[in-house]
Protein backbone atom coordinates (compact mmCIF):
# COMPACT_ATOMS: atom_id res chain seq x y z
CA UNK A 1 0.00 0.00 0.00
CA UNK A 2 1.40 3.41 -0.92
CA UNK A 3 0.37 6.88 0.12
CA UNK A 4 1.63 9.96 -1.74
CA UNK A 5 1.86 13.24 0.18
CA UNK A 6 2.13 16.58 -1.53
CA UNK A 7 1.53 20.11 -0.29
CA UNK A 8 2.00 23.32 -2.26
CA UNK A 9 3.70 24.73 0.86
CA UNK A 10 6.51 22.14 0.77
CA UNK A 11 9.26 21.88 -1.86
CA UNK A 12 9.21 18.09 -1.79
CA UNK A 13 6.90 15.13 -2.26
CA UNK A 14 6.81 12.13 0.07
CA UNK A 15 5.66 8.61 -0.72
CA UNK A 16 5.04 6.13 2.13
CA UNK A 17 4.89 2.48 1.10
CA UNK A 18 3.80 -0.04 3.73
CA UNK A 19 4.80 -3.64 3.12
CA UNK A 20 4.15 -6.76 5.20
CA UNK A 21 5.41 -10.25 4.40
CA UNK A 22 2.97 -12.39 2.49
CA UNK A 23 3.92 -15.78 1.15
CA UNK A 24 1.12 -18.05 -0.09
CA UNK A 25 1.04 -21.34 1.82
CA UNK A 26 3.43 -20.01 4.50
CA UNK A 27 0.99 -19.04 7.25
CA UNK A 28 3.63 -18.45 9.90
CA UNK A 29 5.68 -15.97 7.87
CA UNK A 30 2.60 -14.32 6.38
CA UNK A 31 1.27 -13.50 9.85
CA UNK A 32 4.57 -12.38 11.40
CA UNK A 33 4.04 -9.25 13.53
CA UNK A 34 6.10 -6.74 11.57
CA UNK A 35 5.89 -4.47 8.58
CA UNK A 36 8.07 -2.03 6.71
CA UNK A 37 7.42 1.65 6.08
CA UNK A 38 9.50 2.78 3.13
CA UNK A 39 9.76 6.57 2.80
CA UNK A 40 10.78 8.12 -0.53
CA UNK A 41 11.34 11.88 -0.60
CA UNK A 42 11.67 13.76 -3.91
CA UNK A 43 12.93 17.32 -4.22
CA UNK A 44 10.64 19.11 -6.66
CA UNK A 45 12.81 22.23 -6.86
CA UNK A 46 15.94 23.15 -8.80
CA UNK A 47 17.80 24.07 -5.60
CA UNK A 48 18.91 22.06 -2.54
CA UNK A 49 16.37 21.70 0.28
CA UNK A 50 16.12 20.27 3.82
CA UNK A 51 13.21 18.59 5.55
CA UNK A 52 12.19 16.18 8.30
CA UNK A 53 9.91 13.17 8.60
CA UNK A 54 8.58 11.98 11.97
CA UNK A 55 7.57 8.35 12.50
CA UNK A 56 6.06 7.69 15.92
CA UNK A 57 4.15 5.21 18.04
CA UNK A 58 1.66 6.46 20.60
CA UNK A 59 -0.22 4.78 23.41
CA UNK A 60 1.70 1.55 23.19
CA UNK A 61 0.73 0.29 26.60
CA UNK A 62 -2.47 2.06 27.59
CA UNK A 63 -5.01 1.29 30.28
CA UNK A 64 -3.66 -0.36 33.41
CA UNK A 65 -0.29 -1.15 31.90
CA UNK A 66 1.07 2.37 31.56
CA UNK A 67 4.09 1.51 33.66
CA UNK A 68 5.99 0.03 30.76
CA UNK A 69 9.39 1.36 29.88
CA UNK A 70 11.00 2.66 26.75
CA UNK A 71 14.54 1.83 25.74
CA UNK A 72 16.88 2.73 22.94
CA UNK A 73 17.68 -0.16 20.58
CA UNK A 74 20.96 -0.20 18.67
CA UNK A 75 22.23 -3.26 16.85
CA UNK A 76 23.97 -3.82 13.55
CA UNK A 77 22.55 -1.21 11.17
CA UNK A 78 19.34 -0.52 13.15
CA UNK A 79 18.39 2.22 15.59
CA UNK A 80 15.03 2.43 17.31
CA UNK A 81 12.70 2.70 20.25
CA UNK A 82 11.65 -0.41 22.15
CA UNK A 83 8.68 -0.48 24.52
CA UNK A 84 8.45 -3.17 27.16
CA UNK A 85 5.29 -3.79 29.12
CA UNK A 86 5.52 -3.79 32.94
CA UNK A 87 2.95 -6.52 33.58
CA UNK A 88 3.81 -8.93 30.76
CA UNK A 89 6.81 -9.36 28.51
CA UNK A 90 5.29 -7.94 25.34
CA UNK A 91 7.50 -5.66 23.27
CA UNK A 92 6.79 -3.25 20.45
CA UNK A 93 9.60 -1.71 18.41
CA UNK A 94 9.97 0.98 15.81
CA UNK A 95 13.32 0.82 14.04
CA UNK A 96 15.18 2.68 11.32
CA UNK A 97 17.47 0.87 8.94
CA UNK A 98 20.68 2.76 8.10
CA UNK A 99 20.35 5.18 11.02
CA UNK A 100 22.27 8.08 9.45
CA UNK A 101 20.27 11.29 9.86
CA UNK A 102 18.01 9.69 12.51
CA UNK A 103 17.28 11.27 15.89
CA UNK A 104 15.02 9.75 18.54
CA UNK A 105 12.92 10.51 21.58
CA UNK A 106 11.12 8.19 23.99
CA UNK A 107 8.74 9.48 26.66
CA UNK A 108 5.28 10.81 27.33
CA UNK A 109 4.02 12.01 24.03
CA UNK A 110 2.76 15.59 23.78
CA UNK A 111 5.02 17.52 26.07
CA UNK A 112 8.38 16.39 24.81
CA UNK A 113 8.39 14.36 21.65
CA UNK A 114 6.17 16.47 19.38
CA UNK A 115 7.30 19.80 20.80
CA UNK A 116 10.93 18.97 19.95
CA UNK A 117 9.99 18.03 16.41
CA UNK A 118 7.70 21.02 15.85
CA UNK A 119 10.23 23.56 17.12
CA UNK A 120 13.50 22.09 15.80
CA UNK A 121 12.61 19.72 12.95
CA UNK A 122 14.46 16.96 14.77
CA UNK A 123 14.38 15.11 18.09
CA UNK A 124 16.74 15.54 21.01
CA UNK A 125 17.97 11.95 21.44
CA UNK A 126 16.27 11.76 24.83
CA UNK A 127 14.81 8.92 26.87
CA UNK A 128 12.31 10.25 29.38
CA UNK A 129 10.57 8.33 32.13
CA UNK A 130 7.21 7.08 30.86
CA UNK A 131 4.36 8.65 32.76
CA UNK A 132 1.52 6.63 34.23
CA UNK A 133 -0.75 9.62 33.53
CA UNK A 134 -0.29 9.79 29.77
CA UNK A 135 0.40 7.52 26.85
CA UNK A 136 3.90 6.41 26.05
CA UNK A 137 5.45 7.45 22.78
CA UNK A 138 8.57 6.71 20.85
CA UNK A 139 9.53 8.58 17.75
CA UNK A 140 12.22 8.54 15.13
CA UNK A 141 12.95 11.60 13.04
CA UNK A 142 14.71 11.53 9.69
CA UNK A 143 16.27 14.87 8.81
CA UNK A 144 17.32 14.92 5.17
CA UNK A 145 19.04 17.16 2.63
CA UNK A 146 18.23 16.82 -1.04
CA UNK A 147 20.01 18.26 -4.05
CA UNK A 148 18.16 19.57 -7.06
CA UNK A 149 15.53 16.98 -8.13
CA UNK A 150 17.21 14.37 -5.89
CA UNK A 151 15.34 11.39 -4.38
CA UNK A 152 16.28 9.75 -1.06
CA UNK A 153 14.88 6.72 0.70
CA UNK A 154 14.67 5.53 4.33
CA UNK A 155 13.15 2.29 5.67
CA UNK A 156 11.43 2.04 9.06
CA UNK A 157 10.33 -1.25 10.62
CA UNK A 158 7.48 -1.78 13.09
CA UNK A 159 7.90 -5.08 14.91
CA UNK A 160 6.37 -6.82 17.90
CA UNK A 161 7.26 -9.64 20.24
CA UNK A 162 4.69 -11.51 22.27
CA UNK A 163 5.84 -14.35 24.57
CA UNK A 164 2.51 -16.14 24.43
CA UNK A 165 1.53 -18.11 21.35
CA UNK A 166 0.64 -15.64 18.65
CA UNK A 167 -0.68 -18.17 16.18
CA UNK A 168 -1.80 -21.79 16.31
CA UNK A 169 -0.98 -23.79 13.16
CA UNK A 170 -2.16 -27.38 12.97
CA UNK A 171 -2.35 -27.68 16.76
CA UNK A 172 1.12 -26.24 17.36
CA UNK A 173 1.54 -22.84 19.04
CA UNK A 174 3.98 -20.41 17.46
CA UNK A 175 5.82 -17.49 18.99
CA UNK A 176 7.21 -14.68 16.87
CA UNK A 177 10.34 -12.54 17.09
CA UNK A 178 11.39 -11.21 13.71
CA UNK A 179 13.81 -8.44 12.85
How many other C-beta atoms can be found within 10 angstroms of the C-beta atom of residue 6?
A: 12
Q: What is the per-residue pLDDT across 49-83, written as a single tens digit (0 to 9) for each?
A: 999 998 877 655 444 444 556 677 777 788 877 76
For range 87-103, the mean pLDDT = 72
Q: What is the per-residue pLDDT across 8-45, written as a single tens digit (0 to 9) for each?
A: 999 999 999 998 877 777 766 777 777 888 999 999 99
d(CA 98, CA 76): 9
Q: What is the per-residue pLDDT across 106-156, written as a single tens digit (0 to 9) for each?
A: 766 556 677 778 888 888 887 766 555 555 667 888 999 999 999 999 998
Query: DSSP assignment, residue 114?
Result: I
Angle CA(20)–CA(22)–CA(23) in degrees, nearest 5? 155
d(CA 83, CA 92): 5
Show Cβ contacts of residue 38 under 8 Å, excluding neighbours closer than 6 positions: 16, 17, 18, 19, 153, 154, 155, 156
Amino acid sequence: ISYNCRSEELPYEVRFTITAPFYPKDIKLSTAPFFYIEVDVTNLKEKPIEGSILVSLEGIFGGRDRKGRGELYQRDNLLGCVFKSASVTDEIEILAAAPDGITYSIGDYHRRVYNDFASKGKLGNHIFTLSTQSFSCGALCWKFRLGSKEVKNKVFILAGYFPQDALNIEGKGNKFLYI
